[in-house]
Structure formats: structure tokens, C-alpha cells
Amino acid sequence: MCATCGCSDEAGVRVIDPESHGHGHGHDDGHHHLPPEPTRTVLLERDLLAANDLLAEGNRGWLAERRIHAVNLMSSPGSGKTTLLERTIRDQGGRFPMSVVEGDQETVFDAHRIKATGCRVIQVNTGAGCHLDADMLAKALRALDPPVRSTVFIENVGNLVCPALFDLGEGTRAVIMSVTEGADKPLKYPHMFRTADVVLLNKIDLLPYVDFDIDAFLAALTQVNPRSRVLKMSATAGEGLEAWYGWLREHAGS
């Protein structure tokens, strides 16, 4: 049990090759337990994160030896992570090799979408878990076997809380936020935005139709993370993607 977020870290975790997959499910024993004593919860959280950080350093070393740039993509569900990956792979796949680790609680839907682009992909289903962790990524990397001097995209489970807490050993973190979400998100979920190397403001083609204050969003983000780079884009319309591609090329094979 994850003391940090309350999810199950072990039950139902599966690394799946979309070429050949099953439809297993996580489990719930149906029992309800009283919450642990607060001091013990803090100790468990520290132990959990310390163990994860140790594994993350192992991943980071493995990736560095192979000159692989791993990008941890995080966002709310529906912000456009998979659509952006599809577009990126199709537009930039010939410039440098890419592969993808897909993280979801269940299904292989997104892995099949990525596979349709011709890109190498592995699905990690977390069952009841609300985030990927360093051990899951280590297993996925062994199964994926990405080439030297390539880019690996890690599409994390969609939410703005738990994924931010767990270092996977990635090289950079990209947070995708759409204009259909509130401009106050950086203030409501500060840890997620504080850890971002780049924030991708997606779906800007919808700005004429939604009530989204870009200036308020940028002010909120600056308050939380003044160093983060912000790229405005529309993954479906193709607007602003060159800046994203340039950012990826800067880090490719580094």
C-alpha cells in the first residue's frame, strides 16, 4: 500500500507488450481498514520514497550509459498526452529514434494508438495504482530495450498528484495542461508544476470557445516555478509544435 497516496503499488501491476497481451485485473480484498497512526504513516512514506529514489538512480544511470533521454509526460486525464505523442512520432520519428512506455490503470488502448504510428511501445498497467514508479519503469525498459542515443517517452498515469511525487529516473519532466482546465491549476497542484522542466499548454485552438485566462495561468506558474519553460500549442491543429520539437532535439541523445 502506498502511504503517500493510498493506492496499491503491487496489486495488478503488469508490463504488457501490445503485440500479445491479456486482460488481467487488479484486485480489492473488499476489507476496510482504519487509517494507520499518523507518525507511522510519515515513516512509511519516507521509507517508500527512499526505496523508490534508490531504484530511480539505477534507472538514471542505465539511461545515461546509453545516452537515452527519458521524458516523463504528466497531466490530467484528457489533456492530450497520447495525441501529442502520436503527432510527435509521425512528425519527428525520422530525426531521432523514439520509443514509448504507456502507463494506465487498465487497458492497452493508448499503446495500440502509439503502435499504429510504427513506434516501439510497452504498456504498463498499474491496477489500482495511480502512478508509475521507478521499479515499474525499470521492468518496462528491460522489455522495451530502447536503442542507444534515443528518446523514451514515459506517458504517466493521468492525474496531477501522485506522479509528481515519484522520481522514475527520467531526464526531464514535461507537464501537459489544456486550456479546458482552470488557469489556477499550478496553484492547486503546486508540486506537479514545481517539478516541471517544461509546461505544454495544449489545445490553444479552443481559446476562442473557453474561459481561460492565459495571463493568470502564467502568473500562477511563475509563482510556483519561475524556471519552467512554457510552450503554447495545439497537438491536433499542429500549432506551436516546432518549439516542442526543438526542445526535444536539444535533449536528444544527451
pLDDT of residue 26 exceeding 80: no
Asked whether residue 5 is assigned to any structural domain, the reply reads no
Asked whether residue 58 is assigned to any structural domain, the reply reads yes
Asked whether residue 12 is assigned to any structural domain, the reply reads no
Asked whether residue 116 is assigned to any structural domain, the reply reads yes
pTM for this entry: 0.85
Asked whether residue 166 is assigned to any structural domain, the reply reads yes
Query: What is the residue-averaged pLDDT of the chain?
Result: 89
Confidence at residue 32, expressed as pLDDT on a 0 to 100 scale: 54
∠ at Cα 151 (157, 127), nearest 5°? 20
Label residue 46 by pLDDT band (50, 70, 90): confident
- The DSSP code sequence of 23-91 is -----------PPPPHHHHHHHHHHHHHHHHHHHHHHHHHHHHTT-EEEEEEESTTSSHHHHHHHHHHH
Element (H, E) at 178: strand 172-178
Asked whether residue 99 is assigned to any structural domain, the reply reads yes
How far is residue 197's CA from residue 48's CA, in Å, rounded to a whole number?
Answer: 24
Q: Which residue carries 503502435 as its cell?
A: 115
Average pLDDT of span 48-55: 91
Q: For the segment 128-170, what is each residue's pLDDT rounded down to a tens digit?
A: 999 999 999 999 999 999 999 999 999 999 999 999 999 999 9
Average pLDDT of span 94-123: 96
The whole domain housing 67 covers 36-251
Confidence at residue 11, expressed as pLDDT on a 0 to 100 scale: 44
* CATH code, domain carrying 134: 3.40.50.300
How many domains does the chain fold into? 1
How far is residue 11's CA from residue 4's CA, in Å, rounded to a whole number?
Answer: 16
Asked whether residue 19 is assigned to any structural domain, the reply reads no
